[in-house]
Amino acid sequence: MPGNERPKPPSWVHLYGLHAVCAALENPDRRPGTLFFDQKKEDSLRLVLEPILERHHNPPPLQATSAQHMGTLVPDGAPHQGVVLKTRPLESADFKAVCARLDAEPGLVVVLDQVTDPQNVGAIIRSAVAFGAQAIVTTDRNAPFETGALSRAAVGGVDRLPWARVTNLAEALHMLADSGAVLMGLDGSEGAEDIFVPPKRRRVLVLGAEGKGLREKTRDTVDVLMRLPTDPDFPHLNVSAAAAAAMMMLRV
């Protein structure tokens, strides 16, 4: 990306799979375009979709189509379950509002330091919803935008969890710390402590990219570096699995 121009999300995304599509249709912040469905599965799909569409303030037009055409709307081999929603991507959540909520009530915020794989980000969002996190925060650069694959990996969690993108991660962490939160970096490097549950009930879990881990500035910014108590002869958890394990322990 030349200069300091901020990366821009795609104009449209195609969400697929029943969980992701239903969650999107139930999200009032969504701006859906067209809802495509496999005409051979119309009866079964209508049982699921019609109650949601009846409650929708501005339901998208429905378009019955062939299984072959459905396949062109998603990546090769993607399990769309006969339904695809063309929609505008969600806008970034207000980061100041994320900080304000953490200041107002105990909770957990998950921060990703340049985690770039959409499947991992989607899986982390899924776990964050399951374990009651308040929000997820990523960087503007070196972080994926919403895609159909990411949303499917999140099983609709993208539409249930505020997702804020920030330009300066260190500054964002300082703002979260101002809410009274403890900043906990998950990192397997030398000097990291075994993970523990802090007495503070406002918590920020910071995770780095798989392989590289946390960047040096991020390590210097967090309050404590932690590691999971994995078998030292097999410490091989990917970032989404490590995130889930840590979130389970840190759940407020």
At 90, list the tokens.
């969600």
Is the CATH number 3.30.1330.30 carried by domain 13-88? yes
- Closest among 185, 198, 176 to 252, alpha carbons compared: 198
CA dihedral of residues 93, 115, 125, 195 (deg, nearest 10):
-110
At 122, list the tokens.
């989607």
SS3 of residue 37 by DSSP: strand
pLDDT confidence of residue 1: 47
pLDDT confidence of residue 3: 54
Alpha-helical segments (H) within 88-159? 95-104, 118-130, 148-153
pLDDT confidence of residue 4: 62
Task: Determine the Cα–Cα distance for residues 194 and 242; give it in Å rounded to an integer.
Answer: 13
Q: Which helix (H) or strand (E) holds 163?
A: strand 163-166
CATH architecture for residues 95-250: 3-Layer(aba) Sandwich (3.40)
- The structure's pTM equals 0.93
Give yes or no for a contact between 31 and 165, defined as CB atoms under 8 angstroms apart: no
Task: Determine the Cα–Cα distance for residues 63 and 84; give it in Å rounded to an integer.
Answer: 10
Segments making up each domain of the chain, as ranges: 13-88, 95-250
Per-residue pLDDT of the chain (252 residues; tens, 9 = 90+): 455 667 788 999 999 999 999 999 999 999 999 999 999 999 999 899 999 999 999 999 999 999 999 999 999 989 999 999 999 999 999 999 999 999 999 999 999 999 999 999 999 999 999 999 999 999 999 999 999 999 999 999 999 999 999 999 999 999 999 999 999 999 877 789 999 999 999 999 999 998 889 999 999 999 999 999 888 888 778 999 999 999 999 998
